[in-house]
Amino acid sequence: MTGTGRLIRLILRRDRVLMPLWVVILGLVPAGYVASFEGLFPTAQDRLEYATVSGTNAGFVGLYGLIRGSSLGEIVAWRSGFLPIMVALFAALTVIRHTRADEEAGRTELVAAGAIGRHAQLAAALITTCAASLVLGLLLTAAMIGQDMPAEGSVLFGLELALSGCAFAAVGAVAAQLTASTRGARTIAVVTLGAAYALRVAGDVSAIGDGAVSWLSWLSPIGWATHIFPWGADDWWPVILLVLFVVLTAGLSAVLLTRRDFGGGLLPARLGPATSTMGTPLALAWRLHRGLLAGWTVGFALLGLVFGGVGGSVVDLVQENEKVGDVFARLGGADSLVDNYFAGIAGIVGLIASCYAVQAALRLRDEEQSGRAEPLLATAVPRYTWAGSHLLFSLLGPAVALLAEGLVSGLTYTDGDLGAILASTLVQLPAVWVLAALTVLLFGLVPRLSPAAWGAPALCLLILLVGQTLELDQWLLDISPFTHIPHLPGGAFSATPVITLLAVAAVLAALGLGGLRRRNIPD
């Protein structure tokens, strides 16, 4: 353990931007819910209706968990039911980033050769991440007490998020010992988190039905966290379970560490084929993109399941509460509330798909910077063909993902028109492609600024979230290509903006590819 303190300082130095960002943002998001739910549901009757509708809808229960009471605190805690997953995800990835990723990159070797104990790096990563989670919880508790919420519930709410983070920091630590590859460790941690979430969903959804498998929630650390029910049951049992889980899992990771070689993993590295029939850049691009494509498509299908499932109770909810209706009405402008709901969802889903488009297009830059593009471009592969093979996945990948979301959501929401919901999702593609093309433009003309492409979906999201609430000028709203997408279902389809967006995308991509043809590689 010698040197742990110094390594903690190193981690804090390296994460000085990222860590405060997720700690503060995730810690303060629920603080905003208090005022907004107070405004939306001023009377106890309003809250009771909202809680009853939400608590009996499988889609909502799946997404956020069970809701037992209807006090303001319980509604806020319930609505924050997805945050434990986010905190857990950040915590697990942070621990892996400072253990296995460093080890694979060879940075650990530099450090390990110094006067540093065998467990120091693991301990430093765990301590820092758990401390960050606890700070997050503390911020949340303080913000809640600051808004005159009862103290015990506020403390438990803080603990719910903090311990979710600690639990999956420990899971990340175990995952980091199992495989020699960072990617493998991340996959193990994320799949474990997904399984924990799925168990909670299955158990909770069962609980509002016949309750046959409601015990499944108790197999999942995420289930324990959400079953604290702050301000309702105010249950301390799950807290004790979580603390035990953190101690045992962190201990397990320390034991596993002593059982493996430096740089190695406990699971043997698998051998692959000795030959290959790959012979084109496209075949290679498929190998490099297929995992990403599968992940996004499955994720989008799950989104479709949730959004389609929630669709049914949107009708009930808005019929009973005018103010919620206003919220959905603000997302669009047409008549039917359900149409508005699906139009609003389509815009959000389109935005998420554009993140995939940017990520896939940025693979080009990754290939260039890692040095893998160089030997490839020294073969008879023209630059256009190489760039085109990745661009294809950046354009068609989001199309496949959106198709999956539209199909699943249309099939889940049985009262709707499948074709209309599917169309509302797919009509987002021209805007998604504009952002993909913008990434290619940066990559071709100013390669060093390529990561700035992430700013585009962020800006579009900001415009979508606050644009109409703040009544921004139309020209500001027009910056986002999503502003120009026809509002479907319900709105009128107009070909002009769609064709214009496609033309903009084509021009941006062409300029980017032209720049790529003329520039140095690597630059």
Partner 1 sequence: MTEAIDATGLIKRFGKVTALDGLDLHVRTGEVHGFLGPNGAGKTTTIRVLLGLMRHDGGSVRLLDGDPWAQATALHKRLAYVPGDVTLWPNLTGGEVIDLLGRLRGGLDPRRRAQLLERFELDPRKKGRTYSKGNRQKVALVAALASDVELLILDEPTSGLDPLMEEAFSEVILEEKRRGDRTVLLSSHILAEVEKLCDRLTIIRDGRTVETGTLTDLRHLTRTSIQADLAGPPDGLSALAGVHDFKIDNGRVRFDVDTDALEPALRTLVQVGVKSLVSQPPSLEELFLRQYSRSGS
Residues that bind partner 1 (CB under 8 A): 104, 180-181, 183, 269-281, 283-284, 287-288, 291, 370-372, 374-382, 518, 520-522
Kindly tell me which of 370 and 468 has the beta carbon lying closer to partner 1: 370
Kindly tell me which of 269 and 458 has the beta carbon lying closer to partner 1: 269
State the Cα–Cα distance between residues 394 and 388, nearest whole angstrom. 10
Kindly tell me which of 282 and 477 has the beta carbon lying closer to partner 1: 282
Kindly tell me which of 211 and 291 has the beta carbon lying closer to partner 1: 291
What's the min distance (Å) between Cβ of 294 and partner 1?
13
What's the min distance (Å) between Cβ of 184 and partner 1?
9
What's the min distance (Å) between Cβ of 321 and partner 1?
50
For residues 432, 437, 442, 447, the Cα torsion angle rounded to the nearest 10 degrees is 110
State the Cα–Cα distance between residues 214 and 224, nearest whole angstrom. 12
Kindly tell me which of 382 and 455 has the beta carbon lying closer to partner 1: 382
What's the min distance (Å) between Cβ of 108 and partner 1?
15
Distances (CA, A) of 146 to 149, 151, 484: 7, 10, 41
Length of the chain: 523
Kindly tell me which of 35 and 449 has the beta carbon lying closer to partner 1: 449
State the Cα–Cα distance between residues 16 and 363, nearest whole angstrom. 26
Q: Give the H or E element holding residue 425.
A: helix 418-426
User: Would the CA dihedral through 281, 186, 346, 434 be positive or negative?
Assistant: negative
State the Cα–Cα distance between residues 127 and 133, nearest whole angstrom. 10
Radius of gyration of the chain (CA): 24
3-class DSSP assignment, residue 521: coil
What's the min distance (Å) between Cβ of 14 and partner 1?
22
What's the min distance (Å) between Cβ of 181 and partner 1?
5
Placement of tokens 């260039």 in the chain = 368
**One-letter amino acid of 178:** L
3-class DSSP assignment, residue 168: helix
What's the min distance (Å) between Cβ of 263 and partner 1?
10
Q: Give the H or E element holding residue 379.
A: none
Kindly tell me which of 54 and 177 has the beta carbon lying closer to partner 1: 177
For residues 136, 138, 142, 143, the Cα torsion angle rounded to the nearest 10 degrees is 10
